[in-house]
Amino acid sequence: MLKEFKDFAMKGNLVDIAVGFVMGAAFKSVVTSFTGGIVSPLIGLIFNSDFKDLKYIIKDGVADEAGKVAGEVAVLYGDFITNVIDFIIVAFVMFVIIKGINKMKKKEEPAPEAPKGPSQEDLLTEIRDLLSKK
């Protein structure tokens, strides 16, 4: 059972998936940094605020002595839009990478056709000849 697991774990496809997963996670952090540090501030200029802090307040909260607001109910649409932008960037880059990989793969030649056996008529003729010999 241990040998089977080792064979399974060391298959090329599984190792490729693991490498892709690790690279995807690292790439996601780069994209998050890009959108949080570059895209969000530029879009935030439009709204005159930090893009990630955009929210629609449903119920106002009360500020305590430390200045922390408690009891506020708000829809954090700025954070959601930032995550959607992250997703679109990651999905597009993965699409471009997969498209490039598929283009680089050699197209497999079609397998040669198996040699054809005798036709149905030839077999019937052979059976007839064998029966007529008796």
Query: How does pLDDT run across 54-66, given as a tens digit for each residue?
Result: 788 888 888 887 8
So what's the pLDDT on residue 110? 66
What are phi and psi for residue 57, nearest 5 degrees? Answer: -85, 120
So what's the pLDDT on residue 10? 67
Average pLDDT per consecutive 10 residues, the chain (134 residues; last block may be shorter): 73 71 82 82 77 81 79 85 84 82 71 74 87 79
Could you list the beta-strand ranges (E) of the chain: 56-59, 62-63, 69-70, 73-75
So what's the pLDDT on residue 11? 67
